[in-house]
Amino acid sequence: METIKQDHQIDIKNPRMLLFSICFVLMFSVMNGTMFNIAIPDIAEAFDLMPSEVSWVMTGYIMVYSIGALIYGKLADTVAFKKLITFGLIVFSIGSLIGFLAPNYYFVLVARVIQAIGGSMMPAIAFIAPIRYFPNERGKILGIIASVMAFASGIGPILGGVIAGFLSWQFLFLTSALMIVTLPFLLRNLPDEETVHVRLDYLGASLVGLTIATALIGITLGVGWSLGLTVIFGLLAIIRMFKAKNPFIPPHLFKDRNYIVALFTSFLAVACLFGLMFTVPIMLREVYSLSTMEIGLVMFPGAISAALIGRKGGRLVDQKGARKVYLASLALLMTGFLIISSVVGLSPLIVSLMLIFPMMCFPLVQASGADILANLLKKSETGVGMGVFNLMNFVSGALSGAIAGVVLDLFNPQNPVNFLAATGESAVYSNLFLTFMGLVLIALIAFKVIYRERSLIN
C-alpha cells in the first residue's frame, strides 16, 4: 500500500495501518452481507423453512444495516470514532458467535440482526474517515474504500460457497467474527477525539427507520399494507424534520439541488450495479447450468477489476475533479450494460470477460459520488450527509434485487429488445441489462443538466 499523506491538523500515528485496518474491517462487513446468499438454501434445509421464511436472513440484515448506516453517520458528527468502532465491532462479534452456536432459526435471525447493528458502523465510518483524516488525498482514499467494497461484493459469494461447501453454513458466522482482530490496530492508530454530547432526535430516527423498514418489507416480500405504512411514517418523518429543534436529518440538506441530484443519480447507478450482481448468478444458473463455484469463477475477473481500478480512479478524482470522473464513470457504466446485454447467451468465458466493463465502474461511481457529496457538506454535517448517502445505496441495492426478481418471475420473452443478443431463455436477462442501461442514461442526463459547480463549503 502506498504512503498516505495525513492531515497535519490531526495526529494519526500510522496512516497506512489505519487505512489498512479500515479496509480489512469494511471488506468483512460487506462480505458478510453477500456470502450468506450462497448459504440460504442450506439454512432453509437445516430448519425446514419456506423461501419466504428463510429470505429474512437477508432481508432482516439489509433492513437493519441500512438504517444503522444512517444512525452511525449521524453519531459520527459528535461521537469519537474510537467509541463507535469499539461498540460496533464488539456487537458484531457477539452476533457472529450467537449465529455460530444457534440451535434454531430464531437464533439465526437474532444473530443476523445483532451483526447488522454492529456491522453497519463500518460503511458509515469508512466514507467519513477519508474526509476527516485524509483531506489532501480524499479522492484516492475514497477510491480505495470503494474498490474494497466492490471486491468484497464480488468475492463474498465465492468465499461463502467454499466455506459452506467444505465446512457448513455456521462457519460463515465464525469467519465474520475475525473482524474483531483489527480492533487493537484501529484504537492504536485512530486519533483521540472529544465526544460532544448532543441530544439525538430519537423520535425522528425512529420514524426514518420505520419508513425504511416498512418500505423494504413491502417491496421485498410483496406486503401491500406495509407500503401504506411507509407513506404514513414518511410523512411523519418529514413533519418531524421541520418541527424538531435538532432534527435527526437537517431539512436544509434537501434544499440544495446539487445534493439532491447527486443522491438521485448515485441511487440509480448503484441500484443498477447491485441489480447486475443479483441477476448474473441467477442467469448463470438458469441459462448455463453452472455450479456455485463456477458462477463465482465467472464473476471473479469483474471483482478483481473493480479492486484494481478503484485506486486509479481515486487518483483521477483528486487530479481531474469528482464531477468529470462521475460523468465519465456513468458513461462507462452505460456502455458496460449495453455490452453485457449484447453477449448474454454466448459462452460463459465471453460473459465473464464482458462483465469486467460494468463491474469496474462500481468503485468509480462510489468514489466520485462520495467526493461530490463531501464537497457539498459542511464539516459539522459530514456524518449525517454521508449517512444519507450510505442509506440510499443500501436501500437501492435491496430494492433493485427485489424488483429484478419480480421481473424474472413474471416475464419470459424469447426475443430480446437488443437485436445483437441471442434469442431464447436468455432474452429476459438481456432486456433487464438494457433497462439498467436506460436508468444509468437517465442518471447521466439528470446530473449533466441539473448539477452546477460551485466553490467548496468549509
The answer for residues whose C-beta is within 8 angstroms of residue 289's C-beta and 6 or more apart is none
Instruction: Tell whether the model's pLDDT for residue 364 goes beyond 90.
Output: no
Distance CA 170, CA 219 (A): 29
Distance CA 41, CA 28 (A): 22
Identify the pLDDT of residue 311.
67
The answer for residues whose C-beta is within 8 angstroms of residue 86's C-beta and 6 or more apart is 183, 187
441 or 35: which leads in pLDDT: 441
pLDDT band at 198 (very low <50, low <70, confident <90, very high): low
Which whole-number Å values give the CA distances from 181 to 86, 175, 192, 232, 289, in the listed order? 11, 12, 20, 43, 39
Instruction: Tell whether the model's pLDDT for residue 3 goes beyond 50.
Output: no
Find out whether 189 and 13 touch, Cβ atoms under 8 Å: yes
pTM above 0.85, yes or no: no
Find out whether 151 and 305 touch, Cβ atoms under 8 Å: no
| Per-residue buried b or exposed e for 428-456, using 16+ beta carbons within 10 Å of the residue's own CB | bbbbbbbbbbebbbebbebbeeebeeeee
- The owner of cell 465465492 is 158
Q: Which fold has domain 15-200+248-450?
A: Growth Hormone; Chain: A; (1.20.1250)
Identify the pLDDT of residue 6.
42
Instruction: Tell whether the model's pLDDT for residue 114 goes beyond 50.
Output: yes
Q: Identify the weakest region by mean pLDDT among 73-77, 116-120, 172-176, 226-230.
A: 73-77
Give the dihedral sign, CA 185/188/189/193.
Answer: positive
Domain positions in the chain are 15-200+248-450, 201-247
Distance CA 299, CA 158 (A): 9
The tens digit of pLDDT for each residue in 48-102 reads 776 556 667 777 787 788 788 878 877 877 778 888 889 989 999 999 999 899 8
Identify the pLDDT of residue 235.
93
The tens digit of pLDDT for each residue in 9-62 reads 456 667 778 888 888 888 888 787 777 766 766 777 788 776 556 667 777 787
The tens digit of pLDDT for each residue in 296-326 reads 788 788 878 877 776 677 677 777 778 888 8
Instruction: Tell whether the model's pLDDT for residue 186 goes beyond 50.
Output: yes
The tens digit of pLDDT for each residue in 202-249 reads 888 888 888 877 887 777 667 778 888 989 998 998 998 888 888 888
Identify the pLDDT of residue 256.
82
Identity (one letter) of the amino acid at 360? M
HEC secondary structure over the chain:
CCCCCCCCCCCCCCHHHHHHHHHHHHHHHHHHHHCHHHHHHHHHHHHCCCHHHHCHHHHHHHHHHHHHHHHHHHHCCCCCHHHHHHHHHHHHHHHHHHHHCCCCHHHHHHHHHHHHHHHCHHHHHHHHHHHHHCHHHHHHHHHHHHHHHHHHHHHHHHHHHHHHHHCCCHHHHHHHHHHHHHHHHHHHHCCCCCCCCCCCCHHHHHHHHHHHHHHHHHHHHCCHHHHHHHHHHHHHHHHHHHHCCCCCCCHHHHHCHHHHHHHHHHHHHHHHHHHHHHHHHHHHHHCCCCCHHHHHHHHHHHHHHHHHHHHHHHHHHHHHCHHHHHHHHHHHHHHHHHHHHHHCCCCHHHHHHHCHHHHCHHHHHHHHHHHHHHHHCCHHHHHHHHHHHHHHHHHHHHHHHHHHHHHHHHCCCCCCCCCCCCCCCCHHHHHHHHHHHHHHHHHHHHHHHHCCCCCCCC
Distance CA 132, CA 6 (A): 10
Instruction: Tell whether the model's pLDDT for residue 425 goes beyond 70.
Output: yes
Identify the pLDDT of residue 7.
43
Identity (one letter) of the amino acid at 454? R
Identify the pLDDT of residue 75.
81
Q: Identify the weakest region by mean pLDDT among 4-18, 134-148, 161-175, 400-414.
A: 4-18
Find out whether 105 and 338 touch, Cβ atoms under 8 Å: no
* Most confidently predicted of 135-139, 203-207, 382-386: 203-207
Instruction: Tell whether the model's pLDDT for residue 8 goes beyond 50.
Output: no
Find out whether 95 and 117 touch, Cβ atoms under 8 Å: yes
